[in-house]
């Protein structure tokens, strides 16, 4: 088979496997590498230190697969039209994490099937499947492969599919004919994504300060309190955030995913209070193979406390009192803040009682700030 025939066969198989987008890019230096280095130097990656440690590896995809010649990039739609519940105490979850499966496992399985087609055509070839974890700037190569353009919210946007899709790829030492890069930016003068961000995370168009992004705060910021100035902006987001995508005009025609495992799992808990009650063992048993495992129980309990505090509803006082007795200072501190957002005679007494036995300085600081604030007002 010729290289063109192999490429055609791969693209056809990709569609059969359910990928909504597929394209081929030549191996080379990523276009935005210099921007990445500048972004890292500003500290915008926050606690995602792995990006700084691996910044040299992003120089060329050969750092992932030696002698790589081509990259096959795919997009998998995860959109669904489910209306997010807005009742007090019910946390919102980013669409990508609402299903019953971890997308890494799902896409990796499909890509291995796609890779098998490549190896049937070129038995001696080498390849490597990548799904979000290798030191590779997938968005760059996806744009070069014609899958879309970079939106002002930094997402890759496709004119027909919008931005609700996962990226994955296959690196190979087979040289395949590349697709035409997507060179046009179709955002125009629109700034809806920038204007809608609840925490003002965009320093400028195309520049995201991850340290202010709700997705980063609820998922990537592990073992630390969420900065107080950003907590109210989280509103009812329990895990991730879709605001900058929800308001994007290019997502108006988004269609539901055809992957059952990516459709909303109605058995998945969205009651924020449940994460203040669940044990470590119960959490691992229920969420081990889901995106929720990334921030772990401690992180989700912290997020849950903030969601309940932002609700301002005193029906959640018992759950927050449970959080105030949690073994994790991170959860106790968030619960103290949340009780302060529902401050009344009952919650003040709860905080005073906890202060009498609390030993962690960070938690004491949270409690004292709440109690002092009531006196000042």
Of residues 27, 113, 132, the one with CA closest to residue 71: 27
- Residue 327, strand partner residues: none
What residue spans of the chain are helical by DSSP H? 3-16, 33-41, 49-53, 103-121, 138-144, 192-196, 214-215, 228-234, 243-246, 280-287, 296-311, 317-324, 329-341, 345-357, 361-376
Q: What is the pLDDT of residue 114?
A: 98
| Separation between Cα atoms, residue 135 and residue 267, nearest integer Å | 34
- Residue 21, strand partner residues: 75
Neighbours of 344 (CB within 10 A): 12
Quote the tokens at residue 313.
């509803």
pLDDT in tens, 188-234: 999 999 999 999 999 999 999 999 999 999 999 999 999 999 999 99
Helices (runs of H) and strands (runs of E) counted in the chain: 15, 10
Is 368 noted as a catalytic residue in this protein? no
Containing 73, the helix (H) or strand (E) segment is: strand 70-77
Q: What is the pLDDT of residue 375?
A: 62
Q: What is the pLDDT of residue 87?
A: 73
Secondary structure letter of residue 250 according to DSSP? G
Q: What is the pLDDT of residue 90?
A: 86
Beta strand 237-239 with 92-93: parallel, antiparallel or unpaired? parallel
Q: Pick the catalytic residue from 31, 56, 132, 325.
A: 132
| Separation between Cα atoms, residue 56 and residue 215, nearest integer Å | 25
Backbone φ and ψ for 268, nearest 5 degrees, come out as: -75, 130
Q: Is 371 exposed, middle or buried (0-12, 13-18, 19+ CB in 10 A)?
A: middle
Q: Report, as ranges of residue numbers, the positions in the chain whose pLDDT lies below 50.
A: none
| Separation between Cα atoms, residue 295 and residue 217, nearest integer Å | 10
């Amino acid at each position: 088979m010729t290289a063109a025939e192999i490429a055609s066969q791969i693209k056809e198989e990709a569609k059969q496997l359910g990928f909504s987008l597929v394209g081929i890019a030549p191996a080379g230096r990523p276009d935005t590498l210099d921007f990445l280095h500048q972004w890292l130097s500003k500290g915008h990656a926050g606690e995602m230190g792995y990006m700084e440690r691996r910044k040299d590896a992003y120089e060329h995809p050969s750092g992932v697969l030696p002698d790589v010649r081509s990259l096959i990039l795919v997009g998998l739609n995860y959109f669904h039209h489910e209306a997010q519940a807005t009742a007090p105490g019910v946390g919102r979850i980013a669409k990508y994490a609402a299903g019953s499966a971890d997308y890494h496992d799902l896409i990796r399985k499909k890509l291995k099937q796609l890779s098998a087609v490549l190896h049937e055509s070129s038995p001696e070839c080498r390849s490597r499947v990548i799904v979000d974890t290798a030191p590779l700037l997938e968005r760059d190569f996806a744009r070069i492969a014609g899958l879309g353009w970079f939106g002002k919210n930094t997402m890759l946007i496709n004119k027909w599919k919008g931005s609700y899709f996962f990226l994955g790829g296959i690196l190979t030492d087979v040289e395949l004919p590349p697709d035409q890069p997507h060179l046009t930016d179709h955002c125009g003068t629109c700034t809806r994504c920038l204007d809608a961000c609840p925490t003002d995370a965009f320093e400028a168009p195309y520049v995201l300060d991850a340290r202010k992004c709700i997705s980063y705060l609820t998922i990537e910021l592990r073992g630390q309190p969420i900065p107080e100035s950003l907590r109210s902006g989280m509103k009812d987001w329990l895990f991730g955030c879709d605001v900058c995508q929800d308001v994007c005009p290019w997502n108006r025609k988004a269609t539901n995913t055809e992957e059952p495992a990516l459709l909303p799992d109605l058995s998945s808990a969205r009651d924020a209070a449940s994460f203040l009650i669940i044990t470590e063992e119960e959490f691992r048993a229920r969420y081990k193979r889901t995106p929720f495992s990334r921030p772990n129980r401690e992180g989700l309990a912290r997020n849950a406390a903030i969601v309940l505090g932002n609700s301002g509803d005193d029906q959640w006082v018992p759950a927050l009192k449970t959080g105030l007795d949690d073994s994790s200072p991170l959860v106790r501190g968030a619960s103290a803040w949340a009780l302060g957002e529902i401050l009344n005679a009952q919650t003040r007494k709860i905080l005073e009682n906890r202060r009498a036995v609390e030993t962690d300085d960070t938690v004491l600081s949270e409690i004292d700030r709440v109690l002092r604030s009531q006196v000042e007002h």
